Structure 1
Amino acid sequence: MRGEKEMLTENQQKEVINLCQDLIRIRSYSGQEEMLAAKLADTFKAMGFDEILTDDYGNVIGHMRGSKPGKVILFDGHMDTVPADESQWSKAPFEGIIEERRIYGRGASDMKGAISAMVCAAANYARSTKKDFAGDIYIAGVVYEECFEGIASRKVSEKVNPDYVVIGEASECNIKRGQRGRAEIVIETFGKSAHSSNPKAGINAVYSMTNLIDEIRKIKPVHHDFLGDGILELTDIKSSPYPGASVVPDYCRATFDRRLLVGETKESVLQPIKDIIARMEKDDPNFKAKVSYALGEEKCYTGTKIQGERFFPAWLYDEKEDFIQKTYEGLKSAGFQPEITHYSFCTNGSHYAGEANIKTLGFGPSKESLAHIVDEYIEIEQLLKATCGYYEIIKALLS
């Protein structure tokens, strides 16, 4: 593509780099995004956004209004980050240090770089058109994505009612047209306590669990030719009482991570496990178990509780969908060479596309592999490229 420096003025380059550094300098772990939300609101105001919206969860949304009615495009970027153990970092994680054309810090790639690029691209578009365009542009800084993919976004889509959503998760400026979803499945087995010197008087819930796990591992994973396998993987296990000094455990709980494919429902995902439990209960009157989805509940910085089942659907659009092709052609005409592929992880698209059936694609700076790592960084060239890319996406989808 044409060099990003040729597509952005020197001031526009400085603007997005400085904003990215400023956002990195604000620690914004899940549930602690208030300072970043305030910074975003101030930035929206300074950059000429027409309206600033907030909701009970603390999502902050900037609205740039065109002079004529038209389509509504929403750019989604989550404000929260995973924690950083500063003792392991060679670069300070909250200083936005620049070295060798990289900006270092927690959230640089996941995803304060993308938020910075979105905000600046919308402002650049409004300036270049003098807001004489048809439609509306919204930029959403969303809370609690790291824990609840898509849950907080429900309030955003209610407020905005977008025609299109662009997820800003890292894609190296390629177009993502889908993702596998994610579910946390809880398996519980129930036994009977007894002194461990007389185990026959009890029913060991851990033995029941190990037998059940052996059967679950025989389930053949579902498969999708584009998205891959619907993985089911054990992630933790715990018995009770714990520690169980001289006590046969009467309870055991295990959690499985399940990667979801398009078309799968809450019922269809659990059914194979329910069938196994029913068979094992029939064969052994002492065997008792149940399966369900994990329930999550956290408190937002506003004080509002955010809660829900940990079931975040998959989504996928055909490569030939009109909005995918418009985006592809718009980027290509500007000199980009984007691939059209899918995310390997779960995003807020689980709500927009998976639940609400809103036309959604992914496009963001940096590599997926840089999220959550020690010494996380974003390359400045990727940041500038995404700023140009978001501008072209706005132009393509609002034309």
Structure 2
Amino acid sequence: MTQLDYKKITALAEKYKPQMTAFLRDMIRIPSESCQEKEVVLRIKEEMETVGFDRVEIDPMGNVLGYIGSGKTVIAMDAHIDTVGVGNRDNWEFDPYEGYEDEETIGGRGASDQEGGMASMVYAGKIIKDLGLENGYTLVVVGTVQEEDCDGLCWQYIIKESGLKPDFVVSTEPTDGGIYRGQRGRMEIKVEVKGISAHGSAPERGDNAIFKMGKILGELEQLHTRLTTDAFLGKGSLTVSEIFYTSPSRCAVADGCTISIDRRLTVGEDKELALQQIRDLPAAIDANAEVSMYTYDKPSYTGLVYPTDCYFPSWVLPENHPVTQASAETYRRLFDQPPHVDKWTFSTNGVSIMGLLGIPCIGFGPGKEAQAHAPNEKTWKADLVRCASFYAALPAIYLEKME
């Protein structure tokens, strides 16, 4: 294997900072909400080809995959390249798509969440090619779609349908400068209650579904306080995120009520447990409530539909796992200090990569979690450089540690 020169790697990453910045600003300028990523995918493909990836393809779902090397060990790096919307424009101090840059930062929708990770990955590929580091492994740099709508769906498709089976995956979601090795899972749960409508002047003739749901809401609030806590991932949680009703009119008894629950899952919690906890609530039993999971079945921008339950399990990569150890060693060698090892607050594609499919996943990405989905989103140029160095060095260090 080619001997790593860490100073050359970091020097090249610094050298390519202007190109990374320009590429990221180009991606930000292209609106790319979930299911509308076509144009940004084409721009990423163009950049991969320009910097010298061996092969670039777009799969039937619309994910873009760039390949370097042909070794037996397969290492994938992932950035979702869809974004959320901009919300209330009045909350932005600058155009969220034109963005801005100064000496230290780049602003715009997707800067931290999560197109910055793509910019660093592509230029890590260039560094690998420049220094001839691709011996012994195949690197697959993946820009994934629909994550903001349904995290992990893209990787369910990639692994199950395309046959790509990486030895491990690096998620480039923002990690505030640290190495992240897990996250709580989540579920999208629906609770439905039925009633009988009647004229509002004589409510005793009907059966009010909203009143029945009100009792369930109170018990859900109490259930949240009793959920499991894990020493690393923290506490499971739930919150009611939406409420809907049906009624013949404003002058009638409501004959239906439905709520959506955002359920966050810690270690030891799964979908069966979470659903049964709600079904067992006395008010849910009294109301004969129907408790189920939502299903995601929106077509990607290519038109492909790949339905999945809205269940996204928690996952934790052990601290002594070879991937965790190689990641920490990469950080120490490049930056001459120990890394901060932690976890994400939010959910990532790791829910499928490791949570559902058992492929080791580690996180290291430019930007900060707090910037995700916020107005005036930004990232830091120094993060882009640091992450490009890390991505370029990690595969060789992993192979070294596995020898």
**Could you state the TM-score of these two structures normalised by the residue count of structure 2?**
0.91
The question of 1:74 aligning with 2:72 is answered no
Map of 1:339 onto structure 2: 340
The equivalent of 1:266 in structure 2 is 271
SS at match of 1:396: helix
Aligned to 1:313: 313
Cα distance between partner residues in 2 of 1:364 and 1:317: 17
In 2, Cα distance between equivalents of 1:5 and 1:134: 18
SS of equivalent to 1:114: helix
Paired with 1:249 and 1:370, the residues of 2 have a C-alpha distance of 40
Q: Is the 8 A contact 1:49 1:64 kept in 2?
A: yes
Amino acid at match of 1:156: I
- Amino acid across the alignment from 2:97: F
Aligned to 1:94, which of 86, 93, 97? 97
**Paired amino acid for 1:245:** R
Check the 8 A contact 1:16/1:117 in 2, yes or no.
yes
Equivalents in 2 of 1:272, 1:201: separation in Å?
32
- Name the structure 1 match of 2:373: 372
Number of the residue aligned with 1:147: 149
Do structure 1's residue 8 and structure 2's residue 12 form an aligned pair? yes
- 1:62 pairs with 2:66: yes
CA distance in 2 between counterparts of 1:3 and 1:394 reads 17
- Which of 122, 128, 135 aligns to 1:119? It is 122
For 1:354-365, list aligned pairs within 5 A. Answer: 354-365=355-366
CA contact (8 A) 1:73 1:136 kept: yes
CA-CA distance at 1:228 after TM superposition: 0.7
Is the counterpart of residue 212 in structure 1 residue 213 in structure 2?
no
Q: Distance in 2 between matches of 1:130 and 1:226?
A: 35
- Map of 1:164 onto structure 2: 168
Listed one character per residue, the Cα deviations across residues 155-194 of structure 1 (whole Å, up to 9, x for unaligned) are 2234321001000100023111100011111111111111
Distance 1:6 1:65, change over 3 A: closer
Compute the RMSD of aligned alpha carbons.
2.0
* Match among 133, 136, 139 for residue 137 of structure 1: 139
Task: Tell me the alpha carbon deviations over residues 44-75 of structure 1, each in whole angstroms, 9 at most, x when there is no partner.
Answer: 21122122222221111001114xx3311100
* Pairwise CA distance, 1:395: 2.6
- For the residue of structure 2 that corresponds to 1:43, the secondary structure is helix
What secondary structure is seen at the aligned counterpart in 1 of 2:329?
Answer: helix
Aligned letter for 1:394?
A: P
Aligned-partner Cα distance in 1 for 2:100–2:142: 25
Separation (CA, whole Å) in 2 of partners of 1:302 and 1:280: 41
In structure 1, distance between residues paired with 2:247 and 2:260: 18
Q: Bigger shift: 82-91 or 133-142? A: 82-91
For 2:100 and 2:341, locate their aligned partners in 1 and report how far apart those are by CA, in whole Å: 32
* Counterparts of 1:155 and 1:273, CA distance in 2: 31
- Map Cα deviations across residues 2-47 of structure 1 (whole Å, 9 max, x no partner): 9999633664222212211221121111111000111111112112
Does the 8 Å contact 1:173/1:389 carry over to 2? no
Q: Once the 2 structures are TM-superposed, how far is the Cα of residue 87 of structure 1 from its aligned partner?
A: 4.3
Return the alpha-carbon distance in structure 1 between the equivalents of residues 247 and 89 of structure 2: 35
CA contact (8 A) 1:103 1:379 kept: yes
Gaps of 5+ in 1: none
Q: State the Cα distance separating 1:96 from its structure 2 match.
A: 4.1
Percent identical:
32
* SS of equivalent to 2:307: strand
Match of 2:239 among 214, 217, 233: 233
Could you tell me which amino acid in structure 2 is paired with residue 295 of structure 1? T
2:138, 2:309 → 1: CA distance?
32
- How far apart are the structure 2 equivalents of 1:253 and 1:32? 29
Could you tell me which amino acid in structure 2 is paired with residue 182 of structure 1?
Answer: R
Structure 2 residue matching 1:305: 3-state secondary structure: coil
Count residues with an aligned counterpart.
389
My pick for the range that moved more, 337-346 or 96-105, is: 96-105
Tell me the SS of whatever aligns to 1:393: helix
Aligned partners of 1:248, 1:98: CA distance in 2, in Å? 55
